[in-house]
Structure 1
Amino acid sequence: MQELETVIALSRSQFAATALYHYLFVPLTLGLSVLLATMETIYVISGRPVYRQMTQFWSKLFAINFALGVATGLTMEFEFGTNWSTYSHFVGDIFGAPLAIEGLMAFFLESTMVGLMLFGWDKLSRGKHLLVTYMVALGSNLSALWILVANAYMQNPTGAEFNPETMRMELDSFTALFFSHDAQAKFVHTSVAGFVTAAIFVIGISAFYMLRRRHMAVAVRSFRVATLFGVFASIGVICLGDALGFINGEGQPSKLVAMEGLWETAEAPAGFNVVAWPDQESMENRFELQIPYVLTPLVTHTFDGTIVGANDLVSRAETRIRDGIPALVALERLSEDPDDRDALRQFRAHGDNLGHALLVKRYAPDVTQATPAQIEQAARDTIPPVAPVFWSFRIMVAAAFLMLGFLILATIYSLRGQIVDKRWFLKVAPWMIPVPFIANEAGWVVAELGRQPWTVYGQLPTWISASTHSVGYMIFSLVGFVALYTVFIIVEMFLMVKFIRKGPDDGPLPPPTESAVAAPGHTSQWSQA
């Protein structure tokens, strides 16, 4: 059993490492693709060559990030089969459908159009090239959509039923799977977070150029487009994050109590823990600093709602474990005799709590002999690791409001034509580039670690989902992946820095077309191109 626990821990660590590495590239790809389409739209409408120059420059950085994102993402789908074979068997019917659609509909579209976007400037008309750029943006975001539809089933399973004959979940409503509240809210939140990431990335690099009075025509305009793009996206990501939190509170109350460090059920009006020191063992906070009255409306969107705490959730889990044990016993009988009608009736009566019974099997292989202490331990496992989820959530929220304030200031200075003179702000801007990446990684930790101890929430525990590899194999593959992905990060940083230092092509621009329009506001030496 100890070796199995080690293999599970290493399998989780490997998937977490590959996902965290991969997710460094995803948000920038999502946001920069849409920002490129915005810049090129301005070029096509206005006819001003500087916007073509802008689009071409940021396309190079997009291409580098896209290539490394693909390289780090391909292995993740294979890991489901190699390291999580029980999980793959259990939900392959559901999980495989959106991933297959993602490959056929989104990835192929995006990959094909990226080449046309990069090399088709002199071979396609302006309108056709703009359409290609829009297809790149569409493909990038459709890819995120289908992956998040698959992930949403793990968070809030819907649209499928367990078949005791095949011992796996089977899809019975693709519509329910696709339109689940978790899938749609998470997709929009993730995409808009990518928009903020791209906006701050462009702002930071543009500020770097303005500080050095280089590439000013591109830098000033890129800065303005990114600020307007980013300020609305930052407002949206906060509002959508609140909506996603409300949905998680309804569908995953255990994640909510971890995010809020809430051990006891809170009657209205509950206070919000700004800072706390959660103690998982004693199920209490050693220290907490609260803002009164804030948590109830924030979580329930009412002023009189009750928020169930971890202790009550554990009590409910104990009840569900006891009710699920007959379902697990019946399932074992059905595996030996599929025609056992009494076992089938027993399973149908208790099948909703089968997943909870699997939790106690970790401690009592014969669940009918499970002791109260073992059932209590399995029930306590339904509360995810509170401290890392609690602090990751606060890092994400603090970063979101920091970015909102930064983008509001950037927009004001840009629209007033003051940004070139605000050197203190230009010095701060490049240092803001890591902030959205930190927020995105923290959000991933909240979403995935907060789902524990389940790979499929309420249905399939993580401890039973992994493949039966040796410890040595898992250590070798974990070290190999971390080393390889670290090389990928170094390669991307080297290429990004190389092309940023080189900057956009400052060669002679063709004259504006007749449809060119004058820039609003004051005119300067870099507003004439």
Structure 2
Amino acid sequence: MQELDTVIELSRLQFAATALYHYLFVPLTLGFSVLLATMETIYVITGRDIYRQMTHFWSKLFAINFALGVATGLTMEFEFGTNWSTYSHFVGDIFGAPLAIEGLMAFFLESTFVGLMLFGWGKLSRGKHLLVTYMVALGSNLSALWILIANGYMQKPTGSAFNPDTMRMELTSLPDLIFSPEAQAKFVHTSIAGYVTAAIFVLGISAFYLLRRRHIELAKRSFRVAALFGVFASIGVISLGDALGFINGGAQPTKLAAMEGLWETAEAPAGFNLIAWPNQEEQRNDFEVQIPYLLTPLVTHTFDESIPGVNDLVAEAETRIRNGIPALSALQTLRENPTDAQARATFEAHQDDLGYALLVQRYVEDVSQATDAQIAKAAADTIPPVAPVFWSFRVMVATAFLMMAFLILAVIFSLRGTLHRHNWFLRLAPWMIPVPFIANEAGWVVAELGRQPWTVYGQLPTWLSASTHSVGYMIFSLTGFVLLYSLFIVVEMYLMVKFIRLGPSEGKHDAHADSVRQQHSSQWSEA
């Protein structure tokens, strides 16, 4: 059992590492594709060549990020089969459907049109090239949609049922799977977070050019478009984040309790723990600073609902484990004798809590012989690591409000034409580039670590999902992935810095480029 636990933890660590690496590329791709479509739309409407130059330049950086995002994402899908074979067998009918659609429709759609977007300048008409750019944006966001539908099922399983004859979850309703509130809210929140990421990235690079008096006209207009694009996105990501939190609170109360550091059920109106130091061993906060009355309306959107805490949730899990044990015992009987009517009736009466009985099987093979102590231990496992989830959530929220404030200032300074008076803001902008990436990674930690100990919430425990590899294999595999993905990050940074330093090509204005830059530089200085 100790070796199995090590393999499980190494499998989790490897998937977490590859996912966190991959997620460095995804939000920028999502946001960049829509921002490029916005810039090119302005070019087609106005006919002003500066917007063509903007679209052409920023599309180069998009292409670098897109290519490395694809490279890091492909291996993740293979990991489900190599490292999580039990999970793949258990929910393959459901999980495989959106991933297959993503690959066949969204991925190929996006990849095909990326080439046309990058190399179609001068070969396609303005309208046709704009359509291609829109198709790239559509493909990028469709890709995210199908992946997040699959992930949404892991967070809140819908549109499926367990078949005791095949010992698998089977798809019962594709519309329920696709239109799951969890999946749809997660998609919109994640996509708009990508828009904020791209906006701040463009702002930071544009500020870099403005500080160095390079490509002034392109930088000023890119700054303004990104600022306006980003400020609306930042408002959306915060408001839709609240909607996702509300849905999560009902679907995963254990995650909510960890996010808020609630050990005891909070009666309305509950206070919000602004900061706290959760102590999971003693099930209390060693230190906390609260804002009175704020948590109840934030989480429940009412003023009179209580919010369940860890202790009550553990007690509820213990009840569900005891109720699920007959279902698991009956299932084992059905494996040997599928025609046993009494076992099937027992299973059907208790099947809703089958997943909870699987938790205690980690500690005793025959769950019908489980002791009170083993059941209590399994019930305690239903609570995710509170401190990492608690602090990751606060990092995500704090950075979201920081970015919104930054983008509001960017819009004000840009529209007033006073950017040149605020060199401090221009110097700050490049340092803001990592902030949305930090927010995205923190959000991923909240979503995925907060779901533990489940691979599929309430249905399949993580301990039962992994493949039976050796510890040596997992160490070798993990080391290889970390080294490979670290190389990808280095390549990304090198190429990005290289093309940012080169700057945009002036295209047909090359003969006058030096004089134009000199004129803009003097105008910027005089302003």
Q: Distance in 1 between matches of 2:229 and 2:523?
A: 24
* 1:405 corresponds to 2:405: yes
* 1:428 corresponds to 2:428: yes
- Which position in structure 1 is the counterpart of 2:514? none
- Which position in structure 1 is the counterpart of 2:52? 52
1:12-91 paired onto structure 2 within 5 Å:
12-91=12-91
**Local SS of the residue matching 1:504:** coil
- Which position in structure 1 is the counterpart of 2:479? 479
Shift of 1:506: 2.8
1:93-104 paired onto structure 2 within 5 Å:
93-104=93-104
Mean CA deviation greater in 278-287 or 322-331: 278-287
Q: Distance in 2 between matches of 1:195 and 1:467?
A: 37
* 1:463 corresponds to 2:444: no
Q: Distance in 1 between matches of 2:278 and 2:362?
A: 25
1:98-113 paired onto structure 2 within 5 Å:
98-113=98-113
Q: Distance in 1 between matches of 2:283 and 2:467?
A: 32
1:115-134 paired onto structure 2 within 5 Å:
115-134=115-134
**Cα shift readout 1:213-235 (whole Å, capped 9, x = no counterpart):** 10011100000000000000000
Q: Distance in 2 between matches of 1:152 and 1:222?
A: 35
- Which position in structure 2 is the counterpart of 1:497? 497
Shift of 1:366: 1.2
- Which position in structure 2 is the counterpart of 1:238? 238
Q: Distance in 2 between matches of 1:459 and 1:307?
A: 23
**Cα shift readout 1:253-292 (whole Å, capped 9, x = no counterpart):** 0000000000000011100001111111111111111111
Q: Distance in 2 between matches of 1:85 and 1:525?
A: 63
- State the superposition RMSD in angstroms: 1.1
Deviation >3 Å, runs of 4+: 507-511
Mean CA deviation greater in 475-484 or 417-426: 417-426
Q: Distance in 1 between matches of 2:301 and 2:507?
A: 56
Q: Distance in 1 between matches of 2:288 and 2:371?
A: 35
- Which position in structure 2 is the counterpart of 1:200? 200
- Which position in structure 2 is the counterpart of 1:514? none
Q: Distance in 2 between matches of 1:229 and 1:208?
A: 19
Q: Any conservation in 2 of the 1:154–1:456 contact (CA below 8 Å)?
A: yes
Shift of 1:508: 4.3
Q: Distance in 2 between matches of 1:148 and 1:39?
A: 27
Q: Distance in 2 between matches of 1:31 and 1:398?
A: 21
Gaps of 5+ in 1: 512-523
1:281-320 paired onto structure 2 within 5 Å:
281-320=281-320
Q: Distance in 2 between matches of 1:402 and 1:318?
A: 41
Q: Any conservation in 2 of the 1:50–1:509 contact (CA below 8 Å)?
A: no
Q: Any conservation in 2 of the 1:396–1:440 contact (CA below 8 Å)?
A: yes
**Local SS of the residue matching 2:509:** coil
Q: Any conservation in 2 of the 1:49–1:510 contact (CA below 8 Å)?
A: no
Q: Distance in 1 between matches of 2:262 and 2:436?
A: 27
**Cα shift readout 1:344-377 (whole Å, capped 9, x = no counterpart):** 1010000000000000001111111111111001
* 1:342 corresponds to 2:349: no
Shift of 1:507: 4.6
**Cα shift readout 1:149-186 (whole Å, capped 9, x = no counterpart):** 00000000000000000000000000000000000000
Letter in 2 for 1:304: D
- Which position in structure 2 is the counterpart of 1:333? 333
Letter in 2 for 1:497: V
Q: Distance in 2 between matches of 1:200 and 1:96?
A: 34
Letter in 2 for 1:339: T
**Local SS of the residue matching 2:161:** strand
| TM-score, normalised with respect to structure 2 | 0.97
- Which position in structure 2 is the counterpart of 1:172? 172
Shift of 1:509: 3.5
- Which position in structure 2 is the counterpart of 1:361? 361
Cα 1:510–1:134 shift into 2, 3 Å: farther
Q: Distance in 2 between matches of 1:137 and 1:209?
A: 26
**Cα shift readout 1:74-96 (whole Å, capped 9, x = no counterpart):** 00000000000000000000000
Mean CA deviation greater in 427-436 or 412-421: 412-421
- Which position in structure 2 is the counterpart of 1:147? 147
Q: Distance in 2 between matches of 1:244 and 1:334?
A: 39
Mean CA deviation greater in 418-427 or 320-329: 418-427
Letter in 1 for 2:29: T
Q: Distance in 2 between matches of 1:223 and 1:104?
A: 36
**Local SS of the residue matching 1:128:** helix
Q: Distance in 1 between matches of 2:420 and 2:233?
A: 24
Gaps of 5+ in 2: 512-521
Q: Distance in 1 between matches of 2:99 and 2:332?
A: 31
Q: Distance in 2 between matches of 1:329 and 1:51?
A: 67
Q: Distance in 2 between matches of 1:451 and 1:482?
A: 24
Q: Distance in 2 between matches of 1:510 and 1:190?
A: 40
Shift of 1:389: 0.2
Shift of 1:525: 5.3
- Which position in structure 2 is the counterpart of 1:518? none
Shift of 1:483: 0.2
Q: Distance in 2 between matches of 1:475 and 1:169?
A: 31
1:410-421 paired onto structure 2 within 5 Å:
410-421=410-421
Q: Any conservation in 2 of the 1:49–1:509 contact (CA below 8 Å)?
A: no
Letter in 2 for 1:222: S
Q: Distance in 2 between matches of 1:378 and 1:284?
A: 20
**Local SS of the residue matching 1:509:** helix
Identity of matched residues, %: 80
> How many corresponding residue pairs?
514
Letter in 1 for 2:136: V
- Which position in structure 1 is the counterpart of 2:277? 277
Letter in 2 for 1:272: F
| TM-score, normalised with respect to structure 1 | 0.96
Letter in 2 for 1:282: E
Letter in 2 for 1:161: A
**Local SS of the residue matching 1:382:** coil
Q: Distance in 2 between matches of 1:358 and 1:451?
A: 16
